[in-house]
Structure 1
């Protein structure tokens, strides 16, 4: 009987002072960034505009899913490389399905305190970002060279086109 009481007490303690998403899930999530070409500068800012990461692709970044009590985090990935168009990709955090496990396992403490405080009630909406940067317009600009016919090799003269009458 003593063992049964002790086991019930431990089970009740775990249920009351834990939460499902905090136990089964996490509050820091990996985000893998792959780009074409490699070596793109990756800058990640949070919803307050603070820079949380700077580095080069490919990379894996660990981002917090919560930004305060009952508040999810969101990020903006800025991909830049000289000669290429800059890309900005929003990354949001959504409600974690494990949060609803508190109904059975974590109880009110998990629903109202632990998971909202740790950020475990949220998860990143994507775990991998694959982006291809486009070359900037005008990267290979057309040019016009005016030459005297005497300066053109004989092999090229047959390809000339008369433009005036």
Structure 2
């Protein structure tokens, strides 16, 4: 009876280890990203790799984004910042490999490395911040007016300054 109980315990433990992913257990598949800009109060739009808008907001803000977009595919994002009086700015958020993914070699096993973590997106991580320095305010240029005059409308003193071009 003791042998059967020990065998069941070892089998259950082995199954648990082989069917789990290390990055899925220790890491995460969604990450909070702090979105900031200088100056603050800029509106921003986050688009995924396919160009689909996944979030709109204004800075400062924290947005939770998934790190995976499919089996063995990390998700990358483009953030566009806009504020009146400033040039538009963009920032990239690119996924990188989570260090916990390599924990599968020791703890998670083949199933964790080839199935669980790649499917959940936990094998990837995102940066914790996305920021934009929008630079100096754009200066508003006064509209330039052009006035056409006939030669008879030009004063004699200004006529003497004219240069004939034909």
> Which interval holds the TM-score relative to the shorter structure?
0.7 to 0.9
Gaps of 5+ in 1: 145-165
1:7 and 1:113 map into 2 onto residues whose CA distance is 24
1:81 and 1:87 map into 2 onto residues whose CA distance is 9
Counterpart of 2:132?
Answer: 131
Alignment partner for residue 84 of structure 1, among 83, 86, 99?
A: 86
Larger-Rg structure: 2
User: How much has 1:129 moved relative to structure 2?
Assistant: 2.3
- Which whole-Å deviations, capped at 9, do the CAs of 1:125-159 have from their partners, x for residues lacking one? x21123322244333x3799xxxxxxxxxxxxxxx
User: How much has 1:73 moved relative to structure 2?
Assistant: 0.7
Counterpart of 2:150?
Answer: none
Could you state the TM-score of these two structures normalised by the residue count of structure 1? 0.79
Alignment partner for residue 8 of structure 1, among 10, 14, 17?
A: 10
Gaps of 5+ in 2: 145-166
Could you state the TM-score of these two structures normalised by the residue count of structure 2? 0.79
Counterpart of 1:161?
Answer: none
Counterpart of 1:54?
Answer: 56
Q: Is the 2:91–2:131 Cα contact (8 Å) retained in structure 1?
A: no
The answer to whether residue 73 in structure 2 is matched with residue 71 in structure 1 is yes
Equivalenced residue count is: 142
Q: Report SS of the residue matched to 1:78.
A: strand
The answer to whether residue 28 in structure 2 is matched with residue 26 in structure 1 is yes
1:50 and 1:129 map into 2 onto residues whose CA distance is 18
Q: Report SS of the residue matched to 2:11.
A: helix
Counterpart of 1:147?
Answer: none
User: How much has 1:121 moved relative to structure 2?
Assistant: 0.5
2:69 and 2:5 map into 1 onto residues whose CA distance is 42
Q: Map 1:101-116 onto structure 2 (within 5 A).
A: 101-116=103-118
1:129 and 1:108 map into 2 onto residues whose CA distance is 34
